[in-house]
Amino acid sequence: MPDLLLDRVDGGPLSLTALAPSVLIFVHADCPTSMLALRRLAAVGSLDVVCIAQERPEVAARLARRAGFMQTVLVDPAPYEVSRSFGVETVPTAMRIDVDGSAGEPVVGWDAEGYGSLLGVEIEGEPRSKPGCVARGLFEEPLGGLDELEDMFERGWSDGLPVVPPTPERVEAMLGGRDGGRSLGPVPPAQGEATLERVAACAVLAGCRPAYFPIVVAAVEAALDPRFNAHGVAVTTQPAGPIVVVNGPVRERVDVNGGMGALGPGTRANATIGRALRLVLSLTGGANPGGLDRATLGHPGKLFCCFAENEDASPWPPLHVERGLEPGASAVTVFAGDAPLSISDHRSRTPEELAATLAWAAAGQWSPFWWPMDDTSLFVVCPEHAALFADAGWDKERVRSAMFEAVVRPAVELRRGETTPLVHAADDDAPIHKWTRPEKIVLVVAGGEAGRFSAVFGPCDGMKSEPVTKEIRWST
Partner 1 sequence: MEYVSPIDERVRDPIPLADRPSSLEGKRVALLDITKARGSEFLDRVEQRLREHGAQTFRISKEIFSKPASVDVIEEIALRGDLTVEGLGD
Q: Does 14 bind partner 1 (CB under 8 A)?
A: no
Q: Does 190 bind partner 1 (CB under 8 A)?
A: yes
- Does residue 476 sit in helix, strand or coil? coil
Q: Does 55 bind partner 1 (CB under 8 A)?
A: no
If the CB atoms of residues 25 and 107 are measured against partner 1, the closer one turns out to be 25
Choose one: 187-195, 346-354, 384-392, 438-446; the region binding partner 1 (CB under 8 A): 187-195
Nearest alpha carbon to residue 244 among 217, 206, 266, 209: 217
- For 182-322, strand residue ranges (E) read 183-187, 192-195, 241-247, 306-308
- Does residue 41 sit in helix, strand or coil? helix
Task: Specify the DSSP element, H or E, that contains 230.
Answer: helix 230-235
Choose one: 190-198, 248-256, 265-273, 449-457; the region binding partner 1 (CB under 8 A): 190-198
If the CB atoms of residues 238 and 333 are measured against partner 1, the closer one turns out to be 238
Cβ 64 to partner 1 shortest distance, Å:
8
361 near 379, Cβ under 8 Å?
no
Q: Does 279 bind partner 1 (CB under 8 A)?
A: yes
Task: Specify the DSSP element, H or E, that contains 64.
Answer: helix 57-67
Q: Which residues contact 205 (CB under 8 A, 6 or more apart)?
A: 152, 157, 158, 163, 164, 165, 166, 276, 279, 283
Query: How far is Cα 130 from Cα 398, in angstroms, rounded to an integer?
Result: 69
If the CB atoms of residues 139 and 143 are measured against partner 1, the closer one turns out to be 143
Q: Does 192 bind partner 1 (CB under 8 A)?
A: yes
Q: Does 251 bind partner 1 (CB under 8 A)?
A: no
CB atoms within 10 A of CB 138: 12
280-339 positions binding partner 1, by CB under 8 A: 280, 283-284, 286
If the CB atoms of residues 22 and 282 are measured against partner 1, the closer one turns out to be 282
Nearest alpha carbon to residue 107 among 117, 121, 99: 117
Contact flags string 102-141 toward partner 1, x per CB under 8 A: ----------------------------------------
Q: For the chain, give the number of residues.
A: 476
220-239 positions binding partner 1, by CB under 8 A: 229, 231-233, 236
Handedness of CA 367, 371, 376, 378 (dihedral sign): positive
Q: Does 216 bind partner 1 (CB under 8 A)?
A: no
Cβ 248 to partner 1 shortest distance, Å:
28
438 near 403, Cβ under 8 Å?
yes
Cβ 188 to partner 1 shortest distance, Å:
8
Query: How far is Cα 171 from Cα 175, in angstroms, rounded to an integer?
Result: 6
Cβ 89 to partner 1 shortest distance, Å:
26
446-475 positions binding partner 1, by CB under 8 A: 462-465
Q: Does 10 bind partner 1 (CB under 8 A)?
A: yes
Size of the site for partner 1 (CB under 8 A): 44
Cβ 441 to partner 1 shortest distance, Å:
22
Which one among 125, 168, 181, 417 touches partner 1, defined by CB under 8 A? 168
Cβ 10 to partner 1 shortest distance, Å:
4
Query: How far is Cα 74 from Cα 58, in angstroms, rounded to an integer?
Result: 11
If the CB atoms of residues 56 and 323 are measured against partner 1, the closer one turns out to be 56
If the CB atoms of residues 168 and 393 are measured against partner 1, the closer one turns out to be 168
Choose one: 279-287, 322-330, 405-413, 429-437; the region binding partner 1 (CB under 8 A): 279-287
**Crossing angle (nearest 10°) for helices 268-279 and 196-206:** 130
If the CB atoms of residues 311 and 375 are measured against partner 1, the closer one turns out to be 375
Q: What share of the chain is helix, strand, coil (3-state, %, to 5)?
A: 35, 20, 45
Q: Does 386 bind partner 1 (CB under 8 A)?
A: no
Q: Does 422 bind partner 1 (CB under 8 A)?
A: no
- Does residue 93 sit in helix, strand or coil? strand
CA distances to 46, 263, 396, 436 from 443, in Å: 56, 15, 7, 16
CA 6 from centroid of its chain's CA atoms: 35
Q: Does 148 bind partner 1 (CB under 8 A)?
A: yes
Which one among 12, 45, 144, 177 touches partner 1, defined by CB under 8 A? 144
Cβ 276 to partner 1 shortest distance, Å:
10
C-alpha angle 287/291/292, rounded to 5°? 45
Query: How far is Cα 382 from Cα 449, in angstroms, rounded to an integer?
Result: 8
If the CB atoms of residues 231 and 320 are measured against partner 1, the closer one turns out to be 231
Cβ 252 to partner 1 shortest distance, Å:
29
For partner 1, the binding residues (CB under 8 A) are 9-10, 58, 61-62, 64-65, 70, 144-145, 148, 151, 157, 165-168, 171, 188, 190-193, 197-198, 200-202, 204-205, 229, 231-233, 236, 279-280, 283-284, 286, 462-465
